[in-house]
Structure 1
Amino acid sequence: MPEVTRAHGNGRMSQIVTHGDTIYLAGQVGTAGASVTQQTQDILDKIDALLAEAGSDKTKILQAIIWMDDMADFAEMNAVWDAWVPQGNEPARAAGSAHLATPDYKVEIIITAAK
């Protein structure tokens, strides 16, 4: 059975969970109160760093789940996402609207990737 490893746990959750060759990242948020553009860039920077720590990178993302406070901001978020995602390595992706942890968060992204 593949080993499960966890990193950056806080008693409630871990930022990275690896099971065999699959990496699961907790939902990532950006700077509270910042613009959708800034929050999305902050999140993608965190994803890059966490994947690198886990031995992967954005070309190996299998799935992205994106929650947005307001779908009216979808195009603004997508502008940042589209500039970041590697062409030819686009993951399966879903996006929807949800009430996030606080009204200051506009975007949250959850990632599953391969090593």
Structure 2
Amino acid sequence: MSEIKKEPIEVPGATVPFFTYKIGETQYYEFDTSKCGPPEPMVNAMAGLKLIDGPDKKLVMINHKKPMGLLAKIEENYQIEEEALPDGRVKLVFGYKPGASEQAKLDDSHCEG
């Protein structure tokens, strides 16, 4: 398996670097907010989720803990896979949910949790 080549990408509203890469037919967008405090994880997740407009795109978020406020806000709108990383961080992969992702209120990045 060849190494994944991650390319930097400009994401409007983001406060951390975003990268994009392809695995098979799926385009991934990835960011790391594990060293950020609130509201940055929420702000960057909302900016990144705007890129997920079809089943062939996914957003990867690396964070220092499970972002409960974010998940409460958007869990109905996206498929979410969670993985605990060996160093204690959390990796979340958000996928498109037909008919639901379009309903997400992504301009509201205010954190309740």
Fold shared, TM-score > 0.5 on shorter chain: no
Q: Which has the higher contact order (CA 8 A, sep 6+)?
A: 1
Shorter-chain TM-score tier: 0.3 to 0.5
Which structure would you say has the larger Rg? 1
TM-score, length basis structure 1: 0.43
